[in-house]
């Protein structure tokens, strides 16, 4: 597998959205940027906050969630980054807080950010790092739910999962998605297998 060249964290711009469940992708990219000592700066032509380290790009779209594809495709086309070299980190209603799943392609599960990225790339072949936020139990409550901060105990589970994702980064950076999946897909409370 090719190593990822573009890491996209999904979220909404603006201080009022910072702690929302829907901004989980932004949280990860900010943490990864800190770890890799990459500074993110606004870049108008890429519609987002962008940072670079060698061949690796980090992107936080500033287009609002439902137009995320505009930012992704602008940067990917400019630097000739292929869909299977893109990793998108996003909140996932279908996984409990603390759950995580790394996969390539597939549907969008009604996630507006993924939907727009698929539409702009014309293929679903990019990688997704799906981090669970749980479901409110009622579809009519979803918008309200994702635009609120997690409860304290949920935040602790999400933070622990994001740390696991950061720990799996060296495997992801090498394009070793199978090893990253093994490290990430252990059940909560189970120690990860050591290589």
Binding-site members are 17, 64, 66, 112
Asked whether 62 and 11 are in contact (CB, 8 A), the reply is no
Closest-CA residue to 117 (of 43, 56, 67): 67
- 88 to 6, 59, 75, 137, 151: CA distances (angstroms): 8, 9, 13, 25, 24
Token pair 């790092």 is found at 129
Q: Which residues are catalytic?
A: 22
Binding residues for tRNA: 17, 64, 66, 112
Strands (E), the chain: 6-9, 41-43, 48-53, 56-61, 86-92, 100-104, 127-132
To 10 degrees, what angle do helices 112-121 and 68-78 make? 40
* Separation of alpha carbons 28 and 5, rounded Å: 16
Asked whether 74 and 45 are in contact (CB, 8 A), the reply is yes
Paired tokens of 25 = 């992708």
């Amino acid at each position: 597998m090719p190593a990822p060249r573009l890491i996209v964290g999904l979220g909404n711009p603006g201080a009022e959205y910072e702690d929302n469940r829907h901004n989980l992708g932004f949280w990860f990219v900010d943490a990864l940027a800190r770890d890799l000592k990459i500074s993110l700066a606004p870049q108008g032509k890429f519609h987002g906050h962008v940072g670079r380290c060698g061949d690796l790009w980090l992107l936080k779209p500033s287009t609002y969630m439902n137009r995320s594809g505009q930012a992704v495709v602008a940067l990917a086309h400019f630097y000739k980054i292929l869909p299977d070299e893109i990793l998108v980190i996003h909140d996932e209603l279908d996984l409990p807080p603390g759950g995580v799943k790394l996969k390539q392609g597939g549907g969008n599960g009604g996630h507006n950010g993924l939907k727009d990225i698929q539409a702009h790339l014309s293929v679903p072949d990019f990688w997704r790092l799906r981090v669970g936020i749980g479901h409110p139990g009622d579809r009519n409550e979803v918008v309200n739910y994702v635009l609120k901060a997690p409860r304290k105990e949920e935040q602790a589970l999400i933070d622990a999962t994001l740390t696991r994702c950061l720990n799996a980064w060296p495997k992801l950076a090498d394009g070793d998605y199978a090893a990253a999946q093994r490290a990430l897909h252990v059940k909560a409370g189970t120690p990860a297998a050591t290589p």
